[in-house]
Amino acid sequence: MKKLIYLLLLVVFIVGCQSNLEATYNQMEKISKKYDTSFRTEELNVSTLPLGKVNDLIGEIEKVTAKDEPSMQIKEIRLNMLKSSLYWELALKAGPVGFASDGFKCSEKQFLEVTGDYLNKSHYYGSKAIIDLDNFLYTYPEYREVIGFREAGSDKDTRANFFFSPLGWVKSQERYNRELYAQVCTAEALKEAQDEYLNETQ
Question: Using one digit for the tens of pLDDT, what is the confidence trace for 41-82?
Answer: 888 877 777 778 899 999 999 999 898 999 999 999 999 999
How confident is the model at residue 189, as a pLDDT? 47
The residues, any chain, with a CB within 8 Å of residue 25's CB and separated by 6 or more, are 39, 71, 74, 146, 147
pLDDT tens profile 87-103: 999 988 877 777 777 67
Q: Look at residue 188 and tell me whether its pLDDT is greater than 70.
A: no
Is 3 part of any domain? no
In 3-state terms, what secondary structure has residue 150?
A: strand
Nearest one of 181, 184, 193 to 109, comparing CA atoms: 181
How confident is the model at residue 19, as a pLDDT? 85
What is the pLDDT of the chain when averaged over all its residues? Answer: 80
Number of domains in the chain: 1
Q: Which residue has the higher pLDDT, 14 or 37?
A: 37
* CA distance linking residue 56 with residue 131, whole number of Å: 25
Is 6 part of any domain? no
Is 11 part of any domain? no
How confident is the model at residue 13, as a pLDDT? 36
Per 3-state DSSP, the chain is made up of helix, strand and coil in percentages (nearest 5) of 75, 0, 25
Is 10 part of any domain? no
Comparing 12-21, 100-109, 155-164, 170-179, the range with the smallest average pLDDT is 12-21
Element containing residue 131 per DSSP (H, E) = helix 109-139
State the DSSP code for 63. T
Q: How confident is the model at residue 25 (pLDDT cuts 50, 70, 90)?
A: very high
What residue numbers bound the domain in which 194 lies?
A: 16-201
* CA distance linking residue 25 with residue 29, whole number of Å: 6
Nearest one of 18, 47, 17, 16 to 32, comparing CA atoms: 47
Q: What is the DSSP string of 131-168?
A: HHHHHHHHH-GGGHHHH--B-TTSS-B---GGGG--HH
Overall average pLDDT of the 127-131 stretch: 95
Share of the chain above pLDDT 70, in %: 78
Overall average pLDDT of the 147-160 stretch: 66
Overall average pLDDT of the 159-182 stretch: 86
